Amino acid sequence: MSPQSSHHNTPRVFISGVAGFLGSHLADRFIEAGYEVVGCDNLIGGALDNVAPEVAFHQVDCNDLEALLGLLEGVDVVCHCAATAYEGLSVFSPHFVTRNIVTAATGMISASIARRVRRFVLLSSMARYGTGEVPFSEEMPPRPQDPYGIGKWSSELLLQNLAAIHGMEWVVAVPHNIIGPRQRYDDPYRNVASIFINQMLQGRQPYIYGDGEQRRCFSFVSDVVDPLFRMATEASCAGQVINVGPDDHFVTINELARKIAGLLNFDLRPHTTAQRPQEVYLATCSADKARRLLGYEPRVTLEEGLSTMIDWIRSRGTRPFRYNLPLEIVSEHTPPTWSARLLEERGDDPR
C-alpha cells in the first residue's frame, strides 16, 4: 500500500523510543521510504547518536500526555517502540518497569486517539506468552510470568479496547531477542549477547544464570525492521497480533556464549550464578503468521549477526557496565550480578 495521509502530502510517522536500538533502525526505514519521521525518547535506554538527522527529535517521556498531544498533530501512524524492556529486572523493580510499560503505553494510545492517528503499532514482547508449549503461536492465551510480560499484555488489552471504542486501527508486533548494532552493551540488566561480547572483548569471563540451557531464538535487527514497516503500512495487518523472529534456530545460552567466544578466539570459562526467578526456560515463537502475512524470511544468520555486533562494539570501544536503574526490591532472590554489581570491573577479575 502506498503511504497516504489525510493531513498533508508527505505521510508522517511518530516513533516513540526513537533514540533506542529498534526505534532508531525503524526510523531509518521510514526515512528511506519517504516518510516524515517525528519521534520522542526519554533517553533512559536510548542515545542521541542513534538518531538520524532527518528525524524531528523531542526529548519527551511517554508519560507526559500534554507534550505528546502537541507532538502527534498531523501524524498518520504511530509506532510505539519505547519501553524499559527489562524482563528479569521487572521482578525486582516492578514500579519502575510498569510505569514505563503500561502507563507510557496509555499515554501514547490516549494522545494518538485524541489526535485522530489512523494506525497504532504496539511493540509487545514474547514475554506475553510466559511458559507453555513452544513454539508460541499468536492463538495461544498469554500467560506472562513476570511484571514486564504482564505489563506488555495489559498494554495490548488497553490498545484493543480503546481502539475499538474510538475507531483507530491497531497492530501488535511481537518481536523477540533482537540483536545488532546500536544495542546498549553497557547495560548489566539485559541484552545477553551484547553483555557477553562487551565482557569477552575486555578479557573478562561472562556470567551465566542457572545451567545455561535456557533456549532462545535471536533476531538480527534488519530482519525485524522490514516486517514492522509493513505492519505500519499494509491494510492486511490491521487488527492482527504478529510474531516477528526466526523459529528455526533455537540455541541455548551456553551455545550463544560458545559462538561468541569462537568468533573472538576467547578462552571461555564462564562464571555461573543462580537461575533468575520467573525466567522462562524455553522461549521461541512460531513465525508462520509472519510468513503468511508479511512474506517474512530472515536473511542474517546468528553468526553473521554476532560478527556484525562484534565489529560495531570494537569500533566504538568496550565500556564499563552502568548500574543506572533502581533496584526496588533487594532480597535473597535478587541476582548477585545486580545486587553485588558483579559486572563492574574489579582488580581480581580473571584474565
Low-confidence ranges of the chain (pLDDT < 70): 1-8, 346-351
- 172 and 240 in contact (C-beta within 8 Å)? yes
Per-residue confidence (pLDDT) for residue 1, from 0 to 100? 42
Per-residue confidence (pLDDT) for residue 341, from 0 to 100? 94
For domain 12-179+218-244, say whether CATH 3.40.50.300 is its number.
no
**Per-residue DSSP letter, 274:** P
For 43, 55, 74, 130, the CA distances from 115, given in Å and listed in that order, are 24, 20, 7, 34
Per-residue confidence (pLDDT) for residue 8, from 0 to 100? 55
Per-residue confidence (pLDDT) for residue 265, from 0 to 100? 98
The model's pTM is 0.94
Distance of CA 66 to the CA centre of its chain: 26
Q: Tell me the C-alpha distance between 177 and 86, whole Å.
A: 12
For 60, 173, 182, the CA distances from 46, given in Å and listed in that order, are 12, 20, 9
Q: Tell me the C-alpha distance between 286 and 135, whole Å.
A: 5
Task: Give residue limits of the domains in the chain.
Answer: 12-179+218-244, 192-216+249-284+300-339
Class of domain 192-216+249-284+300-339: alpha beta
pLDDT in tens, 255-310: 999 999 999 999 999 999 999 988 888 888 999 999 999 999 999 999 999 999 99
Task: Find where cell 522462562 sits.
Answer: 280
Task: Please give the angle made by the CA atoms of 94, 86 and 221, to the nearest 5 degrees.
Answer: 155
Q: Quote the cell numbers at residue 100.
A: 514505563
Task: Find where cell 494506525 sits.
Answer: 119
Per-residue confidence (pLDDT) for residue 350, from 0 to 100? 47
Q: Tell me the C-alpha distance between 38 and 16, whole Å.
A: 9
Per-residue confidence (pLDDT) for residue 278, from 0 to 100? 84
